[in-house]
């Protein structure tokens, strides 16, 4: 049973030495418990925050303990546990091949409805985040002008496709030409640009010729400033994440957008949100998303790393944009 422990807290950028690969005995389930074998493990940007010793909406990881992540796992032994052997579950687990649980917070998933890894992405937390941000926070309406950053990522690719399915003009930015081509040629984005090789202000304007009614914010930094200049009257900004500053300490944060005054005159609503504070919309998304997948109205791309020993690299890759689509780690055959 291999595990990845938090060896030290990062001082700015995450480095391999912050992690330790350890071997532990496969645990025995006690009465009423189950032994889970992890099939897929998620690595997500929010885990960067949990590496710091800081009070947040989720508690920090502890040094010397396995990190935690969303997992899809199989019940391989049940000692009178909540679900029978052979059941596939998803929930918050450990960076480990095996773990024991009473089943709290785990839900069964249907392996016939979608590939198992999808429950960590399009039909899991990132897909729900896209739906919550657009429906619960930004209140996107049919035919509006939608812009999303980190557009090819786990959340962004779903945001754009929900927008297209609602008849919106959809534009996005991403960090490579391949990602931009994917957005336009595969996902049907109306416009997309590479923010690393463009003048971000000019490119944002050109990609949104009728302005922006809804901005789904994933990155922060210069992209946010460029968007603000192009917001329409009564625009909504759903603050989902700001990955561009996750590695920065407060004293090293880049200065914020200089044009916030625009929000006043244009009556813009800007609101942060955490996906799990909208449990009804999360449930609704599983129905809507699974239906759209079946009808071919949603495409999905993921990056799969193999083996728990590669989880730290996969996680550091997400913070650097090396992933193309949702990053997962495969620990066992599904
Ligand atoms: P992604 O799959 O989009 O991976 C992260 C991407 O961010 C990278 O691939 C990279 O894409 C981009 N990125 C990395 N560094 C920078 C940078 N300095 N500037 C601009 N872009 C950068 O991750 P997710 O879809 O899982 O997450 C997207 C956002 O949503 C994150 O901010 C995350 O924290 C947030 N989130 C918030 C939730 C909530 O409840 N509020 C829930 C889930 C996610 P590229 O190559 O295009 O630069």
Residue nearest to atom 32 of ligand 1 (CA): 241
pLDDT score recorded for residue 95: 97
Q: What are the pLDDT digits (tens) for 21-42? A: 999 999 999 999 999 999 999 9
Q: Cα 126 to the chain's mean position, in Å?
A: 4
Q: 282 CB under 6 A from ligand 1?
A: no
Q: What are the pLDDT digits (tens) for 243-289? A: 999 998 888 888 889 999 999 999 999 999 999 999 999 999 999 99
CA distance 292 to 110: 16
Which residue among 171, 218, 246, 282 has the greatest number of ligand 1 atoms within 8 angstroms of its CB, and so is best to mutate? 218
CA distance 193 to 14: 28
Report residue 33 as tokens: 């418990």
pLDDT score recorded for residue 57: 82
The reported pTM is 0.97
Q: 44 CB under 6 A from ligand 1?
A: yes
Q: What are the pLDDT digits (tens) for 78-130? A: 999 999 999 999 999 999 999 999 999 999 999 999 999 999 999 999 999 99
Q: CATH number for 125-278: choose from 3.40.50.720, 3.30.70.1380, 3.40.50.150, 3.90.1300.10.
A: 3.40.50.720
245 CA: nearest ligand 1 atom: 18
DSSP string, 131-194: HIIIIIIS---TT-EEEESSTTSTTHHHHHHHHHHTT-EEEEEESSHHHHHIIIIIS--SEEEE
Which numeric CATH code is attached to 2-121+302-330? Answer: 3.90.180.10
pLDDT score recorded for residue 175: 98
Q: What are the pLDDT digits (tens) for 46-60? A: 999 999 998 888 899
pLDDT score recorded for residue 255: 82
pLDDT score recorded for residue 3: 98
Domain parsing of the chain, residue ranges:
2-121+302-330, 125-278
Q: 245 CB under 6 A from ligand 1?
A: no
Q: What are the pLDDT digits (tens) for 64-78? A: 999 999 999 999 999
ipTM: 0.99
């Amino acid at each position: 049973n291999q595990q990845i422990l938090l060896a030290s807290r990062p001082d700015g950028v995450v480095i391999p030495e912050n992690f330790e690969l350890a071997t532990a005995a496969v645990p025995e389930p006690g009465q009423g418990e189950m032994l889970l074998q992890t099939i897929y493990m998620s690595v997500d940007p929010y885990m960067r925050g949990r590496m710091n010793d800081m009070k947040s909406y989720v508690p920090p990881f502890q040094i010397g303990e396995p990190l935690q992540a969303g997992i899809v796992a199989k019940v391989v032994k049940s000692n009178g546990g909540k679900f029978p052997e052979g059941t596939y579950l998803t929930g918050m687990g450990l960076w480990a091949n095996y773990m024991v649980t009473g089943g709290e917070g785990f839900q069964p998933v249907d392996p016939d409805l979608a590939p198992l890894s999808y429950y960590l992405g399009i039909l899991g937390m990132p897909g729900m985040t896209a739906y919550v941000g657009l429906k619960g926070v930004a209140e996107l309406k049919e035919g509006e002008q939608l812009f999303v950053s980190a557009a090819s990522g786990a959340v962004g690719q779903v945001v754009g496709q929900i927008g297209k399915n609602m008849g919106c003009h959809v534009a996005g930015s991403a960090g490579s030409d391949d990602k931009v081509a994917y957005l336009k040629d595969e996902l049907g984005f109306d416009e997309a640009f590479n923010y690393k090789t463009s003048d971000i202000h000019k490119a944002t304007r050109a990609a949104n010729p009728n302005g922006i009614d809804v901005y789904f914010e994933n990155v922060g930094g210069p992209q946010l400033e460029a968007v603000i200049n192009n917001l329409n009257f009564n625009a909504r900004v759903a603050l989902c994440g700001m990955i561009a500053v996750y590695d920065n300490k407060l004293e090293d944060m880049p200065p914020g957008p200089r044009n916030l005054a625009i929000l006043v005159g244009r009556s813009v609503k800007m609101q942060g949100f955490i996906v799990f504070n909208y449990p009804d919309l999360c449930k609704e998304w599983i129905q809507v998303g699974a239906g759209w997948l079946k009808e071919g109205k949603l495409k999905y791309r993921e990056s799969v790393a193999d083996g728990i020993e590669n989880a730290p690299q996969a996680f550091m890759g997400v913070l650097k944009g090396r992933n193309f689509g949702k990053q997962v780690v495969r620990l066992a055959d599904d």
